Amino acid sequence: MKTLNMIALALVIIGGVNWLLVGLFGFDLVAAIFGGEVGPRSALSRIVYVLVGAAALYALTLFGPLSRDHRHH
């Protein structure tokens, strides 16, 4: 499970940095790497966006363990 958490964290960070670049500069790094413009224009870009979104949804499940750990300390 720890490996899945690390993968999800990495994808959420990639997505967050990508949206930071979109917001500040109108530059979509994922689209620049995999083709297209801002937003899912190529199949590879769409796959990356779906993986990042799925990772974000999975990351929501991590709030429970984090809040339980916080209460114990």
CA distance 72 to 36: 47
- pLDDT tops 80 at residue 1: no
At residue 64, the pLDDT reads: 75
Burial of 23 (0-12, 13-18, 19+ CB in 10 A): exposed
Q: What type of residue sits at position 11?
A: L
At residue 73, the pLDDT reads: 56
At residue 37, the pLDDT reads: 62
pTM of the model: 0.67
At residue 23, the pLDDT reads: 85
Taking only the tens place, the pLDDT of each residue in 13-68 is 999 999 889 888 888 888 888 876 655 567 787 888 889 989 999 988 887 765 66
